[in-house]
Homo-oligomer: A and B are copies of this chain.
Amino acid sequence: MTRSPGPFTGRTLAGLAADLRQGRTTSAELTRLALDAIAALNPRLNAFVTVDAEGALDAAQRAGEELAGGTDRGPLHGVPVAVKDLIMVAGLPVTMGSRHFAGHVPSADAECVARLRRAGAVIVGTTTTHEFAYGPTGDRSATGPARNPWDPSRMSGGSSGGSAAAVAAGLVPLALGTDTGGSVRIPAALCGVAGFKPAYGAIPADGVFPLSRTFDHVGVLAAGPADCLTAYHCLTGPSGRDAPARPARPGGRTGDAAWAVPPGGTAPTEPVGHGGAGPAWPREPGRADEEHRPHPHGPGDSGRVRVAWLDPGGLFPCDPRVVRAVRAVAGALEEVRLPAGAGEALRETYTTIQSCEAAAVHAGRLEEAPELFDPEVLDRLRAAAETPGWRYVRAVEARAELAEAVGVVSDGHDVLALPTVPIVAPPLGQRETEIDGKPAAVRAALLALTSPWNVLALPALTVPAGTVDGLPVGLQLVCRPGCEPLLFEVARTLRVPG
């Protein structure tokens, strides 16, 4: 089974931008296409929670007038986008997928939403999240499960399941998500789209409902990696920070930051510039040479980026068909392995820190109105609240030690490649499965290959890597903070089957 194509299937942000500027379409037309497709397909997918047709058409009208009048806010100007139902959008209901926030209408935009608006994007609505983003399956929400466009009986993955489904179905070309242990990358992989979790803090989390503050990231989902990079630039570059028309293209700063996470697990929050990678937008006269200068990380062109295959078996048992499919896309690479025990240590560190931080966020609600939680979410939060504090302290210490251990493995490589998720999308509601003939917990499997990069605060990109049994799989690329352009350089060289 394959997804049925929506109005944005096969279209790129660069193509849409060109069409808008060359009169082949208008923002209003794109927005109506999005709204009509959502109306038609959402009953099947449950990707959207709230659709703001009126607000979107108004914004599209303004965007069209600005563009016609010569004000150009860059590549998102006039483009319909979706926002996860956990990121504040002023004036729209934002529910966190929870009955605790039924009817909640924030009065102010999250910073990332404000940046979207300054970039001229048209927000068409909010997308389904696992309740409070507390689950990688995407199927426990007060607003119903997000369904996988490739097979609506299967889970989208989560927690940003609605954003992934909306992009995969071609309802919008771009959506915002959040990623605490893989919540952008897991649904992106299971739904066959690209998803990018930048460095910690690169896109500010202000106005995003927290799950686990030291792991929470804002990320982007789009059909392919080039569109993720474009959105990332818009959300982090000068155009994202104030409101200029014709944003200047930031310079190609590409740092040399170490793999190691500093104490406390934070990473540089300054976004990097375009470097030598990524699409140039808007193209400025006399800047094209930047596209071709040698990359500071390799001795020469992008062919010299040092990529290694990270054996995913060191993190979790993997479906060998998924590994084969992803590895075929990654190509022939030197293979590296984590130190013995690092996989288990990363998983424990993730679980302990995330449990304590999530329980801290929800302690009041657990006390005062536990009945409003989804029962599974409630059980998990109650268990999380039992985690002793000394284990949290130990986990924070382990986080720094793991960064060193993994740094040794990746020494000599710029990018690590591995599958994003060790399995294809399970059926909705499934919690136990088999991997290579052995029993495995679905949640643990979904998170196993993505959460390490939240623990280590490393940027990670997932790109579509074909299908297994007709369901998508993702290739994940991981780098040091400051080397983000390399992820996109590598992604551009991949040849995906089908």
> Could you say which of B356, B386, B394, B397 contacts A393, with CB atoms under 8 Å apart?
B356
A333 CB-CB contact with B under 8 Å: no
Tell me the residues in window 378-395 of chain A with beta carbons closer than 8 Å to chain B beta carbons. Answer: 384-394
CB distance from A366 to the nearest CB of B (A): 9
* Copies of this chain held together in the complex: 2
Cβ 8 A contact of A394, one of B264, B360, B386:
B360
Task: For the complex, give the distance between the alpha carbons of A356 and B386 in Å.
Answer: 13
User: Which residues 238-282 in A have Cβ within 8 Å of B in the complex?
Assistant: 263-264
Which chain B residues lie closer than 8 Å to A352 at the CB level?
A: 389
Q: Does A363 contact B (CB under 8 A)?
A: yes
Shortest beta-carbon distance from A263 to chain B in Å: 8
Of B355, B363, B384, B388, which is within 8 A of A385 by CB? B388
Partner of A388, one of B359, B394, B397: B359
A357 contacts B by Cβ under 8 Å? yes
Chain A interface mostly: helix
> Which residues of the partner chain B approach A390 to less than 8 Å between Cβ atoms?
356-357, 359-360, 363, 384-385, 387
- Whether A363 pairs with B394 at a CB distance below 8 angstroms is yes
Chain B residues closer than 8 Å to A387, beta-carbon distance: 388-390
CA distance A356 to B392 in the complex (A): 8
- Could you tell me the distance in whole angstroms from the C-beta of A266 to the nearest C-beta in chain B? 9
With a cutoff of 8 Å between Cβ atoms, the chain B residues found around residue A359 in the complex are 388-390, 393
Q: Within the complex, which residue of B384, B389, B391 is in contact with A391, where a contact is CB–CB below 8 Å?
A: B389
Inter-chain contacts of A356 with B (CB < 8 A): 388-390, 392-393
Size category of the A interface is 20 to 34
Which of A359, A389, A392 has the largest count of B CB atoms less than 10 A from its CB? A389
Note all chain B residues with C-beta closer than 8 A to A264.
Answer: 263-264
A387 to chain B minimum Cβ distance, whole angstroms, is 4
> What is the bound-complex CA distance between A393 and B388, given in angstroms?
11
Nearest to A264 among chain B residues (CB) is B264
Q: Pick from B360, B384, B393: contact of A357, CB below 8 A.
A: B393
CB distance from A261 to the nearest CB of B (A): 13
Contact with B along A383-423 (1 / 0, CB 8 A): 01111111111100100000000000000000000000000
A52: shortest Cβ distance to chain B, in Å? 33
* Chain B neighbourhood of A397, CB < 8 A: 360
The distance in angstroms between the C-alpha atoms of A264 and B264, with both chains bound, is 8
Chain A, 324-355, contact with B by CB distance < 8 Å: what is the 0/1 string?
00000000000000000000000000001001
Residues of B within 8 A of A355 (CB): 389
Taking the nearest CB of chain B, how far is it from the CB of A396, in angstroms?
9
Nearest CB in chain B: distance from A204 CB, A: 14
Q: Shortest Cβ distance from A213 into chain B, in angstroms?
A: 8
Q: Mind listing 6 A-B residue pairs with CB under 8 Å?
A: A356-B393, A360-B391, A363-B394, A387-B390, A389-B389, A389-B391
9 closest cross-chain pairs (CB), A and B? A356-B389, A359-B390, A360-B393, A389-B392, A360-B390, A387-B389, A389-B389, A360-B394, A356-B393
Q: Give me 5 other A-B pairs in contact (C-beta within 8 A), A356-B388, A384-B390 excluded.
A: A263-B264, A357-B390, A359-B388, A359-B390, A389-B391
